[in-house]
């Protein structure tokens, strides 16, 4: 039996590189789809690193195939050519899914920061939300999501919409890891604590005997609002203190604290 014309077989290492490379590309696509479906991006660069390594392995596998089958290339069948082309375009598609959204991430974050600095909190919330909700920005890890959700929570506090702020902190704690996970938990605990303090102080204010007692209670309330990033309400309370019949030095303190909130 003549075996001279039998086609050579793929070495095992070529098959291994190809299959591992395909698996690495596939996990990146799966991670991207999961990010879109669950409402926030994968909180790690790991899928990107795995995809990059898989692309290298896939390239090595096909380069080795070309070397081994160098004499067979002129006689490559249509099916083999299409399979090679499909692998090539799969690699390009994965890199496109990574690079294009990466360039587009962060633009809403910057715009939201500008509105926040201008104290236009409703506009800041709307713009920050675009960074979080735009589906194609979730195709890879988006480091701006955490900042935007934190900005949304603080904007709600400035607008005295504390329930929405609480829900946003809870969402941030659920979806993120590291610094913002701990920070959101801290801010949420402080928000609940200070709101309870404010409710108690309001009761004390109703029973205050004179303006000096009212001034001290209003100072405490303003401090509490300032700690939960509600500067507008704190400023209003400091202005109210200045209308009371108290010592001038206390009114000066109220003006100074009000200026620090602006």
196-251 pLDDT, tens digit per residue, is 999 999 999 999 889 999 999 999 999 999 999 999 999 999 999 999 999 999 99
pLDDT-derived band at 55 (thresholds 50, 70, 90) equals confident
Per-residue pLDDT at 44: 84
> If you classify domain 107-261 with CATH, what class do you get?
mainly alpha
Region of 106 (left: φ > 0; alpha: ψ -120 to 50; beta: rest) is left
For residue 107, pLDDT over 90 is answered with yes
Q: What's the pLDDT at 7?
A: 55
**Domain locations in the chain as residue ranges:** 12-104, 107-261
Helix intervals (H) in the chain: 12-38, 46-68, 78-104, 107-117, 121-133, 144-158, 162-175, 179-206, 211-227, 231-241, 248-261
pLDDT in tens, 133-169: 999 999 889 989 999 999 999 999 999 999 999 999 9
- Region 252-261 average pLDDT: 89
Q: CA 177, 180, 185, 186 torsion: positive or negative?
A: positive
95 or 210, greater pLDDT:
210
Q: How much is the pTM?
A: 0.82
Token pair, residue 107, equals 């633009």
**pLDDT class of 73 with cuts at 50, 70, 90:** low
pLDDT at 98: 81
The fraction of the chain above a pLDDT of 70, given in percent, is 87
Q: What is the residue-averaged pLDDT of the chain?
A: 86
Work out the average pLDDT over 9-21: 78
Q: How many whole angstroms separate alpha carbon 37 and alpha carbon 106? A: 20
Give me the mean pLDDT over the 82-104 stretch: 78
Give the pLDDT score at 84. 65
Give the confidence band of 13 by pLDDT, cuts at 50, 70, 90: confident
With tokens 């799969």, the residue in question is: 90
Q: Check whether 191 has a pLDDT greater than 50.
A: yes
Q: What percent of the chain has pLDDT over 90?
A: 52
Whether the pLDDT of residue 37 is over 80: the answer is: yes
pLDDT at 69: 56
């Amino acid at each position: 039996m003549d075996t001279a014309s039998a086609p050579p077989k793929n070495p095992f290492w070529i098959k291994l590189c190809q299959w591992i490379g395909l698996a690495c590309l596939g996990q990146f696509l799966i991670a991207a789809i999961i990010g879109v479906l669950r409402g926030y991006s994968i909180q790690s660069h790991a899928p990107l690193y795995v995809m990059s390594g898989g692309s290298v392995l896939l390239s090595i596998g096909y380069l080795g195939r070309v070397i081994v089958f160098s004499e067979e290339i002129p006689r490559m069948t249509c099916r083999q050519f299409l399979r090679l082309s499909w692998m090539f375009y799969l690699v390009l598609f994965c890199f496109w899914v990574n690079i294009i959204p990466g360039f587009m991430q962060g633009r809403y974050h910057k715009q939201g920061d500008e509105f926040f600095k201008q104290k236009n909190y409703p506009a800041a919330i709307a713009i920050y939300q675009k960074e979080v909700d735009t589906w194609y920005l979730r195709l890879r890890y988006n480091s701006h999501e955490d900042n935007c959700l934190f900005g949304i929570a603080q904007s709600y506090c400035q607008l005295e919409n504390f329930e929405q702020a609480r829900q946003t902190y809870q969402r941030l704690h659920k979806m993120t890891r590291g610094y913002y996970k701990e920070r959101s938990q801290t801010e949420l605990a402080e928000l609940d604590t200070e709101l309870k303090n404010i409710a108690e102080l309001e009761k004390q204010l109703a029973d205050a005997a004179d303006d000096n007692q009212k001034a001290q209670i209003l100072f405490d309330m303003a401090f509490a609002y300032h700690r939960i990033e509600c500067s507008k309400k704190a400023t209003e309370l400091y202005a109210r203190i200045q209308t009371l019949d108290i010592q001038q030095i206390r009114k000066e303190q109220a003006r100074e604290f009000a200026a620090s909130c602006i």
